[in-house]
Amino acid sequence: MEIIYQVFDSFWFQAIIKLTLGFVLAGIIGLERSSWSKPAGYRTHALVGISSVLVMLCGEYMSKIYDIDPSRIPAQLLSGIGFIGAGTILRDGFNVKGLTTAARTIGSYLYWA
């Protein structure tokens, strides 16, 4: 029984669970977007979800090993996701397209963080 507790408590097991959940949940959001033929569908949201979880895990791992602030690395992700989101906003005269996509992309980062 002790071995099971050690496996479940290990960083690597928890990392695999977090990566899987990030991929599945972000993929569900992307599938919903794809079903409405919107930009930034399944692949985009799955990649954003996985990369957000990976960066958060890197910050968590570095804080355990090197005793640094765990939010330093993930804080840089927000500006990167914002850059991706800003690239999806298009203006055509008085019409603006892609604003919802940008908000969802940034919102999905904040959710995974």
89 pLDDT higher than 70: no
Average pLDDT, the chain: 78
Question: Computed over its alpha carbons, how large is the radius of gyration of the chain?
Answer: 17
Which percentage of the chain shows pLDDT scores above 70? Answer: 69
